[in-house]
Structure 1
């Protein structure tokens, strides 16, 4: 595994050494993440004006709603390139990911005139399945090698929530 990782790093360094900044500008990174939606429940009385001596209104509480959904985000050096929200209860499988790749390829054609983009995503099963690999070849999308157990190469949390600190 260490040799494989070293070979991949060497290959990427060679690409950077030969193309420089242009190599980095071609990379489009993608990842999925869950979004939790909270609906605060409150009463209209909380919006009413009250005198200082009036009893304090009951405070609303944030109640976890049943809304939790998955989104897929692709970004590059400039920012967000493409985003898709999945319907509640839907997860990413090969078929869904291929649909996302097709939409992404159309986006590449519209925005970059089909410039030679390089796709970087992790090695989750929907990204590495035979169906997905066939679709990547059909769509003529080049991918960066991604060594096993390297989820840190696609830091979606940092892109979406840059001010959050992990402890």
Structure 2
């Protein structure tokens, strides 16, 4: 089932990857049919913040730049309040952009070999 409530036979679990130049900071695995809303996205951002604190000491003090598109969970008031509270800067990336994302280079190759 997708977020609109329709069944998609091809849908599988999804992996959300959060990384920096040094590598993966957090992998967030969504079960089949699990939707991402603003509350779920903010929960993931909480886990990302803790992963940054553990794996990249000092980065939170220097400032986090997060790239995401303007999907509803990303642009929701709850998410915007979370980002403002922690002072994270957003580097916009248009939805359905023809530009390649970093995951196109670093994630999908290794996943195809699994």
TM-score under structure 2 normalisation?
0.70
Does 2:20 align with 1:79? no
Indicate how the Cα distance of structure 1 residues 153 and 137 shifts in structure 2: closer, same or farther if over 3 A, else same.
farther
Q: Which runs of 5+ in 2 are unaligned?
A: 1-8
Asked if structure 1 preserves the Cα contact closer than 8 Å seen for 2:25 and 2:55, the reply is no
Within 5 Å, which residues of 2 pair with 1:46-61? none
Within 5 Å, which residues of 2 pair with 1:9-20? none
The alpha carbon displacement at 1:97 in A equals 0.6
CA-to-aligned-CA distance 1:116-137 (integer Å, 9 cap, x gap): 2211112211111111111111
The whole-number CA distance in structure 2 between the counterparts of 1:122 and 1:156 is: 14
The whole-number CA distance in structure 1 between the counterparts of 2:95 and 2:29 is: 26
Match 1:123 to one of 66, 70, 77: 70
CA-to-aligned-CA distance 1:43-85 (integer Å, 9 cap, x gap): xxxxxxxxxxxxxxxxxxxxxx987112211112122111011
The alpha carbon displacement at 1:104 in A equals 0.5
Within 5 Å, which residues of 2 pair with 1:36-47? none
Match 2:101 to one of 143, 151, 154: 154
The whole-number CA distance in structure 1 between the counterparts of 2:108 and 2:31 is: 22
SS in 2 for 1:68: coil
TM-score under structure 1 normalisation?
0.51
Q: Which runs of 5+ in 1 are unaligned?
A: 1-64
RMSD in angstroms over aligned alpha carbons? 2.7
